[in-house]
């Protein structure tokens, strides 16, 4: 009989624990956006895009560049000092840029990639140096608050989005 | 007769092809080395790409773009964030200090000196015998630690012994850029601050441009390229100390 009480108590405890779990569902939770590992290494020429989360800037002859954090590179041509959108180069994980003699050096996550922009409309991959940029990238969302911890088995982290009514497994 | 026509057609084809090529060339960006902002972790000097990650300075020989080769890796210190090349030296900003490396041997940058400062984020630019550093505190959301927000001016006439000349309080300083006589400091929401640096004794704030949350800046010929929250803003700096808004990308 005593044993049964114990079981009931355990069941109740379990129930309360799962209630607590349910309570962990929150609004405005930062959720990681993942990209499949193979897909994350594909460099693409895309039409010009709006800046969403603008990163570092760079000037090269009459062109200016702005990183889209973890997404790629916006290319603009300066005409009468005005930046005219030319294109967007998809480079996931990109944070950095430097250019010499029509070659862009940027990072595709931890790889340094060399992109040929002799024809700015058709940027070509010249070479790739694997694991050359071992920056300890942050696994924290862009702002403090509740978030879902990064799970590297799900792919490469390429950004964050806020979701409502979802479990938050981490906070900072 | 047929031969002549073929020859003419061939010649026309060749001319057309070359015509198309030269047209493409007109659109090509051209040669040379570009200019980065003060928040960069990649910079090119001569035939070398210098990269700073968390604690190390890596040097890559880029003479052969098909075969970029890492030639050295040097431990610099904790919390490195930025690299800025000037006059044969690299200025490296970390969460604790400004480090100076000389490039006498471009494959093996040599440590010259350092200036420790309060714990903070700190991009660097340099001109003549002066280096300008901004330090930004944790109060302003940086993860670098510290509690001071300021522009610090160092005398670097002796690279091995940088000394502090001035400390000017700022609100939320990020990147900065410099021309012959003008220093541009991005002070976040507090605006873009423009200093006359003709004479360090008279280092003076000339004006502040508001309207955006300023993060970094590149003075580039007669334009000022600004990284701001939302994208990029361009000013005309034909008159360096009086930027005039031209356009924005958002």
Per-residue pLDDT for chain A (172 aa), expressed as one digit of tens each? 444 555 444 444 444 444 344 447 899 999 999 999 999 999 999 999 999 989 999 999 999 999 999 999 999 999 999 999 999 999 999 999 999 999 999 999 999 999 999 998 899 999 999 999 987 566 788 888 899 999 989 999 888 899 999 988 888 8
- Which of B31, B51, B249 is closest, CB to CB, to A83? B249
Contact B31, B67 (CB under 8 A): no
Mutate to test the interface with A, among B67, B174, B224, B231 (most CBs of A within 10 A): B231
Residue of B nearest to A110 (CA): B53
The single-letter DSSP state of residue B121 is B
Alpha carbon distance A88, A172 (integer Å): 33
The single-letter DSSP state of residue A152 is G
How far is CA A147 from each of CA A32, A109, A125, A140, A141, rounded to the nearest angstrom? 8, 22, 35, 8, 7
List the one residue out of B82, B232, B242, B31 whose CA is nearest residue A64: B232
Q: Establish how many alpha carbons lie within 13 A of residue B112's alpha carbon, considering only the half-sphere containing its beta carbon.
A: 21
Q: How far is A86 from chain B (nearest CA, A)?
A: 11
Which 3 state secondary structure label does DSSP give B74? strand
Alpha carbon distance A106, A96 (integer Å): 5
Bridge partners (DSSP) listed for residue A46: A88
B26, with CB counted inside 10 A (0-12, 13-18, 19+), is: exposed
Alpha carbon distance B132, B126 (integer Å): 6
Instruction: Sort out which chain A residues have CB atoms less than 8 A from B214's CB and list them.
Output: none
Mutate to test the interface with A, among B36, B48, B123 (most CBs of A within 10 A): B36
List the one residue out of A138, A134, A131, A135 whose CA is nearest residue A113: A131
Structure-token pair, residue B50: 């210098």
| pLDDT above 90 (res B242) | yes
Q: What are residue B129's phi and psi, to 5 degrees? A: -100, 20
Q: Establish how many alpha carbons lie within 13 A of residue B19's alpha carbon, considering only the half-sphere containing its beta carbon.
A: 6
The label of the residue with tokens 């006059």 reads B87
Structure-token pair, residue B218: 């590149």
Question: Domains of chain A (ranges plus CATH)?
Answer: 39-129 (2.40.10)
Q: Which of A18-27, B37-46, B58-67, B165-174 has the lowest mean pLDDT?
A: A18-27
Interchain contact B22–A (C-beta under 8 A): no
ipTM of the complex: 0.86
The single-letter DSSP state of residue A149 is P
The pTM (predicted TM-score) of the whole model is: 0.84
Instruction: Sort out which chain B residues have CB atoms less than 8 A from A94's CB and list them.
Output: none
Residue of A nearest to B71 (CA): A132
């Amino acid at each position: 009989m005593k044993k049964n009480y114990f079981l009931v108590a355990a069941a109740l405890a379990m129930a309360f624990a799962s209630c607590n779990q349910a309570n962990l569902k929150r609004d405005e939770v930062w959720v990681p956006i993942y990209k499949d590992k193979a897909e994350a290494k594909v460099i693409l020429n895309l039409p010009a895009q709006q800046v969403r989360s603008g990163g570092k800037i760079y000037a090269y002859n009459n062109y200016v560049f702005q990183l889209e954090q973890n997404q790629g590179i916006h290319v603009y041509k300066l005409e009468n000092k005005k930046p005219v959108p030319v294109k967007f180069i998809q480079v996931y994980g990109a944070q950095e840029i430097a250019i010499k003699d029509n070659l862009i050096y940027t990072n595709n996550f931890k790889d340094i990639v060399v992109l040929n922009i002799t024809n700015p409309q058709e940027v070509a991959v010249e070479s790739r140096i694997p694991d050359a940029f071992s920056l300890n990238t942050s696994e924290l969302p862009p702002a403090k608050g509740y978030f879902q911890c990064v799970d590297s088995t799900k792919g490469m982290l390429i950004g964050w989005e806020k979701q409502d009514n979802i479990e938050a497994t981490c906070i900072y | 007769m047929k031969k002549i026509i073929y020859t003419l057609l061939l010649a026309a084809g060749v001319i057309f092809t070359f015509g198309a090529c030269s047209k493409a060339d007109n659109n090509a960006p051209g040669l040379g080395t570009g200019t980065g902002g003060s928040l960069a972790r990649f910079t090119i000097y001569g035939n070398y790409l210098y990269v700073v990650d968390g604690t190390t300075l890596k040097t890559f020989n880029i003479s052969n773009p098909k075969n970029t080769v890492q030639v050295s890796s040097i431990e610099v210190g904790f919390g490195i964030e930025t690299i800025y090349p000037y006059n044969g030296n690299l200025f490296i900003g970390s969460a604790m200090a400004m480090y100076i490396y000389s490039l006498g041997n471009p494959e093996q940058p040599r440590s010259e000196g350092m200036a420790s400062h309060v714990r903070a984020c700190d991009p660097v630019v340099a001109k003549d015998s002066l280096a300008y550093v901004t330090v930004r505190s944790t109060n302003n959301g940086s993860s670098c630690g510290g509690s001071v927000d300021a522009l610090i001016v160092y005398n670097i006439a002796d690279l091995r012994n940088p000394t502090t000349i001035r400390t000017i309080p700022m609100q939320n300083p990020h990147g900065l850029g410099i021309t012959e006589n003008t220093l541009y400091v991005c002070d976040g929401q507090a605006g873009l601050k423009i200093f006359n640096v003709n004479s360090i004794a008279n280092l003076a704030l000339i004006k502040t441009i508001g309207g955006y949350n300023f993060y970094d800046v590149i003075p580039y010929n007669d334009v000022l390229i600004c990284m701001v929250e939302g994208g990029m803003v361009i000013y005309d700096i034909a008159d360096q100390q009086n930027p005039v808004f031209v356009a924005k990308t958002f």
